[in-house]
Structure 1
Amino acid sequence: MMMMTAPACAQETIPVVLDSVKTDTVVKSAPRKLGLIRRIIRGFDKVDERYIEPQHYVYAAMLQGTRNYDYYTLRSAGDNRQSISFSPDSEVRLGPYAGWRWVFLGYTLSLENLSVNSHKSGFDLSVYSSQIGLDLFYHRTARDFKLRDVNLGHQQDYSALNNVSFDGFTTDITGFNFYYIFNHGKFSYPAAFSQSTIQKISCGSWLAGFGYTQNSFDLDYELLQSVIDEKMGAKRVELDSALQFRNIKYVDFSLSGGYAYNWVFARNWLLGGSLQIAASHKRSTGEMSDKKSRSFSIQNLNLDGIGRFALVYNNMKWYAGCSVVMHTYNFSLSQFSTNNTFGSANLYVGINFGLKKKYREKK
């Protein structure tokens, strides 16, 4: 009887053995794939701990006050060159932020205009690691501009137009900047701009990246002309035809390069800064577009800039500091050019919490 049952048991066990082989294969391959992904992700934050103290915590909370700055200049390129600058009164915004590892998100509310019907809005998302950085931004301005630095030619005094309120100008800007930090093992960009690590020894790094931006301007030039007529009286001046437009839209593709440096001047203190210059190709898509702007040409290339500066105190648990971030974009057609500069100055205080496992074990 034993001889008869043995083959049956053997036959019955064959599928079980095969299934166990398949199961082992799946179980072993999944951790390998997961381990590779983890190694790649962790590689973004791999640092030389002689120069950089890694973040000990998983989460962060912060209260930040922000003063925004927007300045736009329109210029004609005719024989009688004219230029008009627009800028709203700078506003102070206050709000909470929360961070998890690389990502830091927040919302600020204007302390000067609490109306929910305001047409001004904005969104900023920054992702920083040791190797890479990514900035996403969207800014829509309200109809609260004032005229600044008006020059309509004819050797006249236009001071009567300075600081005059003008609600016929609105702007939208949406885009992103991506950059790579070459000396990421010893230089920490997050130490200066996301307070997630501590730079222990002064160090710098070259940066390189690319970006994409969409810009849009809406101008009620008839209203602008009426404001000029009212303020100038008998000295009435006609707007150049190049400034008589309803809408301008252009897209911007850029390649950037620059340098950043962190100066550790005292224990837990850091003064950091970076400057990137971008070679940008711009293509107009609105009312002011022309054939030259739609095809690639050296004439469509402009230089833009991004500057960042920060002063930080960080003892790993608590941190506080201030930072300034500025963007400038230039765009020109044969009969028209514009420059827009926007940025923010920030003052903040925050706390890190949720100690990572390996640091809990050291205690």
Structure 2
Amino acid sequence: MTSHRNIILAALLLIFTVEAAAQSLSRVERKARLDSALAARYYRTPYDTNYVVRPEGKLTLKVRFNQTGNTFHAKGTVNDIYSEADLETSHKTTVSIGASYRGLSAAVAINPAKMSGAYKDYEFNLNYYSSRLSLDLSYQRSESLAGDITGDRGDQCLESGEATLKVLNIAGYYTFNHRRFSYPAAFTQSYIQRRSAGSWLAGISYQGGSIKTTDELKMRNPNAPDIRIYIGHLGIGGGYGYNLVLGQKWLFHLSLLPTFVVYNRNNMTVNDERKEAQHMRFNMIFNERAAIVYNFSPRYFAGVTAVVNNSVFKDDNVTVNQNKWRARAFFGLRL
């Protein structure tokens, strides 16, 4: 009887062991199939591989240091009174850690000033780069806009908290020489530019937002007017970008896309009295990108990038210039 029990127990253990091994093998097979599918997708390239290739390795890790800022400059004569304003928001500084496995990416960012309560603005940035299409999008809501206002009525200072800024910038690009010229090689390092190449670009730009004075300005200066300025501009244009490769280690990128505004809607409300802006004589949005990438080896790389949106609006009396920028330094490791 004991012998029969031992035989049954051994049979049950064998069944469970075989089943567990089969399940483990099934998980390994599913993982292998998934990895094979991701690898096939990853190495299926739209580029001419004499110019642009995928880097070797499954996993890429990056540490990035980011800083953004926004400045406004305006000058002109309204009602025979000349004034000039130089304003800017607080800079946003973040540190982020990102990982990319076979083209699937995730990242987490930390803003030390935000965590300590020193930075209270809100800002969202989205950048997308592919072989043909690229997109830069940024939205900022800020109460840190501050600076000097000078003119015929004397010098004044706009302090942080006395005005609310909301601004949206969008720039979309189409790359014509998309087989040989790569934006991702310069800005995401998901490709490697092997030989120098350039491309003509077509693009569209939008800039819209508002500036509104707050109650804090009224508290400090009861005679200050209630002001709300609204702008909306849509532009189309073309430009050129170039990736210069030196010594198989250095990549230098520079691109410029000026767009001419074909539609605008601007107005200003002062003490509940709305005024439509005059027709602009010169109205353009400029989009610039620059990058330097250095590959220490096939595994290690580092670099810096910059994305800038400039706008220039000018009529018979007033000139307004805005500069929205984002700078980044990074170090990466491929495994």
TM > 0.5 = yes
Corresponding residue of 1:282: 264
- Residues 202 and 67 of structure 1, relative CA distance in 2, 3 Å threshold: same
| Contact 1:197–1:316 under 8 Å retained in 2 | no
Q: Residue 186 of structure 2 aligns to a residue in which SS?
A: helix
Does 1:258 pair with 2:213? no
Matches within 5 A, 1:337-352: 338-352=320-334
Percent identity of the aligned residues?
24
Q: How far 1:133 moved relative to its partner?
A: 0.8
Q: How far 1:325 moved relative to its partner?
A: 1.3
Does 1:247 pair with 2:246? no
Q: Which runs of 5+ in 1 are unaligned?
A: 1-40, 230-237, 354-363
Q: How far 1:92 moved relative to its partner?
A: 3.0
Corresponding residue of 1:53: 53
| Contact 2:267–2:276 under 8 Å retained in 1 | no
Q: Tell me the TM-score normalized by structure 2.
A: 0.73
Measure, in 1, the Cα distance between the counterparts of 2:252 and 2:327: 15
Q: Residue 287 of structure 1 aligns to a residue in which SS?
A: strand
Matches within 5 A, 1:24-39: none
Cα deviations across residues 142-162 of structure 1 (Å, max 9, x unaligned)?
x333314x32136x6x4xx57
Corresponding residue of 2:110: 109
RMSD: 3.5
Corresponding residue of 1:65: 65
Q: How far 1:181 moved relative to its partner?
A: 0.6
Cα deviations across residues 35-87 of structure 1 (Å, max 9, x unaligned)?
xxxxxx99x95111111223445654321111222111344532222121211
- Residues 339 and 65 of structure 1, relative CA distance in 2, 3 Å threshold: same
Corresponding residue of 1:323: 305
Cα deviations across residues 258-294 of structure 1 (Å, max 9, x unaligned)?
111111122221111111101122213663764567x
| Contact 1:273–1:309 under 8 Å retained in 2 | yes
Q: Which runs of 5+ in 2 are unaligned?
A: 1-40
Q: Residue 114 of structure 1 aligns to a residue in which SS?
A: helix
Does 1:152 pair with 2:151? yes
Measure, in 1, the Cα distance between the counterparts of 2:138 and 2:105: 13
The residue type equivalent to 2:46 in the other structure is K
Matches within 5 A, 1:172-191: 172-191=166-185
The residue type equivalent to 1:151 in the other structure is T
Measure, in 2, the Cα distance between the counterparts of 1:332 and 1:312: 37
Measure, in 1, the Cα distance between the counterparts of 2:64 and 2:266: 36
Q: How far 1:257 moved relative to its partner?
A: 1.3
Q: How far 1:118 moved relative to its partner?
A: 4.7
| Contact 1:75–1:81 under 8 Å retained in 2 | yes
Measure, in 2, the Cα distance between the counterparts of 1:337 and 1:224: 26
Measure, in 1, the Cα distance between the counterparts of 2:104 and 2:286: 24
Measure, in 1, the Cα distance between the counterparts of 2:311 and 2:226: 20
